[in-house]
Amino acid sequence: MFEHIDAYPGDPILTLNENFAKDPRDNKVNLSIGIYYDEEGRLPVMRAVHEAETQMLAEPGPKPYLPMAGFAQYRDAVQSLVFGEDSPARADGRIATVQTLGGSGALKVGADFIKRYFPGSQVWVSDPTWENHRFIFERAGFSVSTYPYYDENSGGLKFEAMLSAIDALPARSVVLLHACCHNPTGVDLSELQWVTLIEVLKKRELLPVIDMAYQGFGAGIDADAFAIRELARQNVPAFVANSFSKNFSLYGERCGGLSVICESRDVAGRVLGQLTSAVRANYSNPPTHGAKIVARVLTTPALRQSWEDELATMCRRIVRMRAGIHDRLRGNVPNSLLARYLEQRGMFTYTGLSVEQVDLLRERHGVYLIRSGRMCVAALNEKNVGTAAQAISEIFAQATN
């Protein structure tokens, strides 16, 4: 019966992370998965999360199913954080939001919805993008192609090429974009570039899907949502997937949201209904615990302030570690590959290391990066940055000898 089932080669990120856990070496360093670790190399429990959980434990209650669309207070808090408290689109009731299983769950529910209502559309993702984007949309039945994005020579953006490729797409093509802290490159559009791109999205009647998994890790909580708020302000139909895995350090609780900017309140009601049906067909209804934590933190002023302060502190630590590895690599890696450690934003730096170099780093030195060359700088600390820099320097020294 099952003879024809082929072996799963594993996931380029999650399987690597599992392999890291099995690696017996003491001095191994995990810079693969997109997870923020603190200065001690621990996964932080944020103060506001801890406080919210403590309060929740003191008020035990029954655990019924949540509505299919999710916990109402959470959905409202998602909209407010993503679109802004005073968003006119929100006030007009033009945004349909469902609670989802993290950002991946949001993309899956969105992909199913789009496949049902835009069956002829194809999907376009940045070159490169997060590996799971392709998997999710292909499994939902789409053909997935790329538009130009990253310029390997400069470590920056190929904006003109990106714009003209998108400007040539058929109407209703799905264009997947990263709101901030592009994964894997750490290269984002400027506000001016977003405004220019939005003109093209409107003119060509394209369907943007904006993935925002790192809100607060780039230019700030509000600034990171610039593109989303601009789309909403201009009433451009769009899908927005957001996640609290990283900015709340709630990875395993699977807290995310999918919001759709609609033309009217009436349309938003019907879209919400069909998103709800996509949730029902996938997993019925979402889990409670993480959503209650997030909703409590975002709607309790003292907890909210504590969360914002701690997130800002985490970002400052990442910036320090960017400088830390940059300074240790100076003189050991080519200058053309060095500036990007400081310039790229969010959790990742796209190092320019080849697959072979990444494999050598892992096999010889126990330093794990994604094979694309993506390094999670948010996992560096004062104790491991020297080991990582030394290993990378040796790889480059070998290449030049």
Alpha-carbon span 249 to 106, nearest angstrom: 18
CB count in 10 Å sphere of residue 2: 4
Nearest distance from residue 330's CB to ligand LMR, in Å? 27
Is 13 a residue that touches ligand LMR (CB under 6 A)? yes
Nearest distance from residue 33's CB to ligand LMR, in Å? 4
- Residue 211 a catalytic site member: yes
Alpha-carbon span 222 to 239, nearest angstrom: 18
Contact 274, 113 (CB under 8 A): yes
Which of these is catalytic: 112, 188, 211, 224?
211
- Residue 309 a catalytic site member: no
Which residues, 6 or more positions from 6, have their beta carbon under 8 angstroms from its beta carbon?
none
The residues that bridge with 259 in the sheet, in sequence order, are 97, 240
Number of residues that bind ligand LMR (CB under 6 A): 6
Tell me the per-residue interface mask from 281 to 320 with ligand LMR, x by CB under 6 A, - otherwise: ----------------------------------------
Which listed residue (34, 70, 84, 110) binds ligand LMR by CB under 6 A?
34
Nearest distance from residue 17's CB to ligand LMR, in Å? 8
Which of these is catalytic: 112, 124, 130, 292?
130
Q: Name residues contacting ligand LMR, limited to 219-248 (CB under 6 A).
A: none
Contact 152, 352 (CB under 8 A): yes
Q: Name residues contacting ligand LMR, limited to 314-333 (CB under 6 A).
A: none
Which listed residue (97, 100, 126, 132) binds ligand LMR by CB under 6 A?
132
Tell me the per-residue interface mask from 177 to 216 with ligand LMR, x by CB under 6 A, - otherwise: ------x---------------------------------
DSSP string over 235-278: T--EEEEEE-TTTTT-GGG-EEEEEEE-SSHHHHHHHHHHHHHH
Which listed residue (20, 36, 74, 130) binds ligand LMR by CB under 6 A?
130
Is 255 a residue that touches ligand LMR (CB under 6 A)? no
Question: For the chain, first and last CA: distance in Å?
Answer: 54
Which listed residue (16, 29, 31, 33) binds ligand LMR by CB under 6 A?
33
Which of these is catalytic: 108, 158, 224, 246?
246
Select the residue whose beta carbon is closest to ligand LMR and give its number: 34
- Residue 63 a catalytic site member: no
Nearest distance from residue 43's CB to ligand LMR, in Å? 13
Q: Which alpha helices (DSSP H) does 330-400 contain, by range? A: 340-343, 355-365, 385-400
Nearest distance from residue 323's CB to ligand LMR, in Å? 22
For the purposes of burial, counting CB atoms within 10 Å of the CB of 171, is it exposed (0-12), middle (13-18) or buried (19 or more)?
exposed
Nearest distance from residue 132's CB to ligand LMR, in Å? 6
CB count in 10 Å sphere of residue 387: 16
Alpha-carbon span 176 to 183, nearest angstrom: 12
Q: Please state, in angstroms and as integers, the Cα–Cα distance from residue 233 to each residue in 40, 171, 264, following that order.
A: 42, 21, 13
DSSP string over 119-155: TT--EEEEES--HHHHHHHHHTT--EEEEE-EETTTT
Name the residues that contact ligand LMR, by CB under 6 A: 13, 33-34, 130, 132, 183
Enumerate the active-site residues: 130, 211, 246
